[in-house]
Structures are given as C-alpha cells and as structure tokens.
Amino acid sequence: MQIEELYQQYKSKMRRVADVKNALAVLQWDQETYLPAKGAALRAEQMATLSEIAHEMFADAELEGILKTLSETNNLSFSQQKNVELTLEDFNKNKKYSAAFVRKLSEATSRSYHSWIDARKQNNFSLFKKDLKALVELKREEAHILGFENHPYDALLNEYEKGATVAWLDGIFNTLQKPLKELLDAIMQKTQPNNDFLQQHFDKDKQWAFGLDILKKIGYDFEAGRQDISAHPFTTSFNAHDVRITTRIDENDFSSMTWSCIHEGGHALYEQGLPIESYGLPAGEFCSLGIHESQSRLWENCIGRSLGFIEGNFSLMQQYFPGLQEVTPAELYRALNKVQPSLIRTEADELTYHFHVMIRYDVEKKLIEGNLSAEDIPAFWNEMYKQYLGVKVPDDAQGCLQDIHWSHGSFGYFPTYSLGSLYAAQFLSYIEKQHQDLQLQIIAGNYTGIHQWLKANVYQYGRLYSSEELCNKATGEPLQLQYFMEYLFHKYAEIYQLRK
C-alpha cells in the first residue's frame, strides 16, 4: 500500500475518533447549559459510554499498525510527520488506561460536577466533599498510570502543559511572588481609583446584548459559534466551525459579564482560527492550555482592559448603560484596573490574580502528593487567602467552591492561567513591535493587525509545536518573565503614579 493511501487511512480513523469525542463534548456542553436536573444520572452514563467508545477506538490494533508504519517512513511532509509522531505519542499514552478506568473516571466526574453545582448553590462544601475525595483518588491513580519521574503532580500537569513540572512551576512562582507582593504593597499605599459606579444596576438583557456586540467587534464568528449562560464561563469547541462560549451576568456589575465575554472570546478566536482541514489531527488542535490561556488573557487584559479599548468602545457602553454618562474613559479605565485583594479569582485584577492561582496550585500539589485531604480543603484554603492576600473568606461559595475545575477532574489546569498571562505579555510586546500604532488601531476598533499576528504565529500551527517551541518561533526567544513584569509595572505605575 502506498504511503499516501496509508496516511489517508490514518486521517479517516482519527476523524472518526474525533467525531465520537466531539459528540461527548456536545453532551458535556449541554450538561452545563440546558440539561434538566432529572437528566443528570443518565447523562453521566451516556457520557461514560462515549468516553469508553472513544478510548477503545483510539486503542485499535489496526490504527497502531498504521501509525508505526508511517512513523518509520521518510516520505511524509513536516506537518504529516508531526501529526503521526504526536498521534503515536497520544496512542501510547491512551494504551496505559483500561476501558474500565476511563468509564469510572467519566462517571466520577459527572457525579462530581452535579454535587459541586448543589454545594455551590447551598454554600456547603460538605455536599461536594465525598465526590471530590473520590475524584482525587482517581487522579492520583491516573498519575501513576501515566508515570512520572519526580512528583506525581507532574503527570497531571503534562496533560495541560506538555513538559511542565512542579520544579519548573515552583521556580516561576517563586520568582514572581516577591516582585508581585512588592508591587501590591506599593499600590496599597496609594489612593485607590473610584469604582463605585461599576456597582450600580445594569439590566441583564442590555448586558447580554452589549456582550454580543463586543464579541462581534473583536472578531468572534457567530455563524461558527454561539453564547449561552452557565454557572461558570467556559469555551468548548467541536471543530473550528462550531466553537461555543458561555458567560454569567451580575446585574450589579457589568464588568463581570463584559470581560468574561472577552476572555472566552479570546479562547474562541483561537479555536475558530485552527485549520479546519486538520480536524481530528494534532495540526487542528490547540498547542497547550498555557498557549490557550495566553489568548484569553491577551484579549481580556492586554487589549480589553487597555485605555485604547475603553476609549474605542466608550460611546457604545454609554448607549447601553446611561449610568456611565457622567464618567470619563480615563476614570472607567482606572476603575476597571483597580488593584484590590479579593475573594473571587475570575474577577481579580491582573496583579492579585496570580496569588489566586498560586493558592490553587499549592492545594492541588498537596492533594495529589497526599499531604492534604479533600475534607481539609476549606480550612487550608481560608488560611492561604489570609496569608497571600490578607482577606477573610466568609463562606464556601466565595471560597473553595468558586471554581468548576476540580468538579471536572481538571487537576493541573490552574497553573496555565498564570503561564497564559506570561505568554500574552511576551506576544503583546512583539505585536507592538510590528504595529507601533497599536493603541491607535485599538481605539479605532481595528484589530486586524492583532488577528494577523496571531494567525501567522499561533493559530496556523495547531499542536505541531510545544509551547516553548511556538514561543521561540513567534518571538525568537523562550518564555521570559520580564515581559509580564514590565507590562504590569508600566500599566500600574501610570494608574497609581508609582516611581520606578
């Protein structure tokens, strides 16, 4: 059989696996948006069945033979060779899991999600504790199934950020912690911007319409996606032509919904920008969660919270929300970038946000290594918030129940939020080098230069490169922390009149 024909067989098999996985993803999206309460039990079974089918399809002996033959030939293009190499790596990893374990993990995750929803509604961690404990045990088991050299958490981190380890992340967080704390302390000595006007009543229907307008303006394609309401905002992609996002609305704070839309919109733009012709293959998948979060953080913060973006969209904001008529763009800019230690990660400013991530990272490390039990999370969490941010956690809903990630079994995800901010700042610096009038473009509502840079340097490569390789290819250097610190200090030095 000709190599090209064999490669087409490989593509066909991978598309079929992707079809099943994306059917599963549709059920999960529905579970978090429209599923009626009584449907939860059978939905868990349906999702477990599809998880098991996808696992078995990807463990197919014929596929293994095709991959091994293709991996040994020299007649493939670079992208074809990388697709085969990465798929074979995924295949060998998939073989480590038994079908029974896959089903068990899927069922546990569904139970955990619904108990988290109930616990959050009732503000009672004990309702989540049992299912979370079971899930943690399964994630520890998964770490040993995958294998690791130094720390069991490394195996789970690698699922979200290839090559990430506890040692590497400890180095990053330890390097960031002191200058971030010093900057926070300096800011806390200054007069805070007034942001009272952000806490007036903002009609939910107007917020919804405004959010849709902003998403259209930044380039989200509604013919290839939609937005809905969920308990926790998220983005899900079934293919580049069907990428869906969700948000939530607080009628006393329009900024919560608005920048949630922009954050998820950044994720969605990445997914919609991936090559559709590579559906089912690594070339059609995102690089890593760190790079994915760089897209959401870039649009939400570097662009969405910039003075240029506020000025460019200020008249539209005033049309929707007359209560902003007495505010200037500069006042709104300072209010939206106010630094204030707080309880909720998703609503934290760009500086204190990373302390939220560090806390979750520490909790997860201890859970996976066995030095923290699930029932002890609230007490440990509350102590860490006091230590890192000096705030007192009043209840579970505003504390350890605020994030959806653990109910999904997503242990190892949280560090990618900070990594995303670091990559975003470095990418922004290089976008600005190509477009020295970038802020004027943003004021004019022209995001073409940003889109072109991201398409050329991020979107088109899918998963063909690791995060480090992609960063090197895009910027000519590996991840450098100083870009983020310079971006952060420049921004807050101007807002708070700080000396260098």
Q: Which residues are catalytic?
A: 264
Q: How far apart are CA 69 and CA 46, in angstroms?
A: 35
CA angle 9, 15, 18 (to 5 degrees): 145
Q: How far apart are CA 13 and CA 18, in angstroms?
A: 9
Residue of 470, 56, 116, 436 lying closest to 289 (CA atoms):
470
Give me the sign of the Cα torsion angle 342, 344, 347, 351: positive
């308990």: which residue's tokens? 231
Contact between residue 103 and residue 129 where contact means Cβ atoms under 8 Å apart:
no
> Which residue intervals of 161-203 are DSSP H helices?
166-188
Close Cβ partners of 330 (under 8 Å, ≥ 6 residues apart): 307
Contact between residue 381 and residue 400 where contact means Cβ atoms under 8 Å apart:
yes
Residue of 110, 13, 112 lying closest to 61 (CA atoms):
13
Q: How far apart are CA 155 and CA 163, in angstroms?
A: 9
Close Cβ partners of 482 (under 8 Å, ≥ 6 residues apart): none
Q: How far apart are CA 42 and CA 157, in angstroms?
A: 31
Q: How far apart are CA 465 and CA 86, in angstroms?
A: 10
Close Cβ partners of 211 (under 8 Å, ≥ 6 residues apart): 227, 247, 257, 258, 261
> Which residue intervals of 337-447 are DSSP H helices?
353-369, 377-389, 415-434, 438-443
Kindly state the tokens that stand for 486: 């310079």
Q: Tell me the CB-side half-sphere exposure of residue 163, using CA atoms within 13 A.
A: 9
